[in-house]
Structure 1
Amino acid sequence: MSIETYLQVSELHQDYAAAVDAQDWERWINIFTDDCVYRVQSRENFDRGMPMAALSLDSKGMLKDRIYGITETIFHDPYMQRHVVSAARILRQDREVIEAEASYAVFRTKYDGIAEVFNVGRYIDRLIQTEDGLRIQSRICVFDNDMILNSLIYPI
């Protein structure tokens, strides 16, 4: 692994967190490949190989549908998120694919409340080098807690 690859993966993780925190949904969607997989799954289900997930999207089109739902149809008490993402671990790399993992913590702040820990876990990523730079082909957000507070509106 080269330092350049490590820095590209780190930059991608930070760009992802910044896009979600800013609710810049177009930027968030464009971090993924067209044939992407995005899943938010409990550690227990992931470790047991169980398919049940809190959120499972299987293409960029499904990401767009989710964002449409968030911005146009879902009624919820608005809140802000702030992501803290650890340094990445590059697990495997070949000419086309990088497999990486990073820990994350997501804090949620409601407009009339204090910040609370919303979700903690790890990203398990399959990244692809494209003409536009590194993109996420698969992101599995494996959360450590058994339950998600209230409901999952915004991406993790």
Structure 2
Amino acid sequence: MLDFNTYQQLLALYADYAAALDNNELDKWPEFFTDQCVYKVQPRENFERGYPLATLSFESRGMLKDRVFGVTETIFHDPYYQRHVVSVPRIFEADAQRIRAEANYAVFRTKPDDISTVFNVGRYIDTIRRTDHGLKFESRICVFDSEMIANSLIYPI
């Protein structure tokens, strides 16, 4: 399906994405996406039933940049750190333009004065586009397993 070099690039995309979020380098987050992209954080129940309602939903890199501005400049919240643990992606389809893949994730949250807790668990359902600037997410749907999430979903998953 994928040649070795492309598979290594795909693994690097997943690892670099998680590292940017874990290191609070939010300004890098939109750069993992194509200009016209979809990013959603959606409950499993809604996803499986085909319901469009999502906890977060953005439809362009510009909207992702707006979210970064909001998170860094306007939203007041208790600070916390995130740590992503991401499985090796499963490849479902690959052609000259796109790769369809899926990976499980777990996000842990640590507040400076508290112990680490499981924050969000689910799977990424991705469409990755081959671009002149490397692999970029054209669509990333973060389908979380629980019907309940913390009311402080600030940072990207």
Please give the TM-score of this superposition, normalised by the length of structure 1.
0.98
Question: How many Å apart are 1:75 and its aligned residue?
Answer: 0.8
Q: Which amino acid aligns with 2:78?
A: D
* RMSD of equivalent CA atoms: 0.8
Show the 5 A alignment for 1:79-98.
79-98=80-99
1-side partners of 2:31 and 2:67: how far apart?
Answer: 14
Q: How many residues align?
A: 156
Q: Which runs of 5+ in 2 are unaligned?
A: none
Contact 1:40–1:55 (Cα < 8 Å) also in 2:
yes
3-state DSSP class of the match of 1:107? strand
Give 1:65 shift: 0.6
Look up the match of 1:133.
Answer: 134
- Provide the residue aligned with 1:100 in structure 2: 101
Partner residue in 2 for 1:118: 119
Q: Which residue of 2 aligns with 1:75?
A: 76
- Is the Cα contact below 8 Å between 1:6 and 1:90 reproduced in 2? no
Give the match for residue 7 of structure 1.
8
Residues 46-74 of structure 1 deviation map (CA, whole Å, 9 limit, x = unaligned) = 00000000000000110011011100111
Letter paired with 1:151: S
1:95-132 CA deviation, whole Å, 9 max, x = no partner? 10100000000000001100000000000000011111
Report the equivalent of 1:48. 49
Contact 1:80 1:109 in 2 (8 A): yes
Tell whether the 8 Å contact from 1:124 to 1:139 is kept in structure 2 after alignment. Answer: yes
Q: 2: distance between equivalents of 1:81 and 1:41?
A: 19
Q: State the distance in 2 between where 1:151 and 1:51 align.
A: 21
Q: For the residues of structure 2 that align with 1:122 and 1:138, how far apart are their CA atoms?
A: 13
Preserved contact between residue 88 and residue 102 of structure 1 (Cα < 8 Å): yes
Q: Which amino acid aligns with 1:71?
A: T
Partners in 1 of 2:151 and 2:62 — Cα distance? 26
Q: Which runs of 4+ in 1 moved over 3 A?
A: none
Deviation at residue 32 of structure 1 after TM alignment: 0.5
**Distance in 2, Cα, partners of 1:58 & 1:26:** 17
Contact (CA 8 Å) 1:39, 1:139: kept in 2 or not? yes
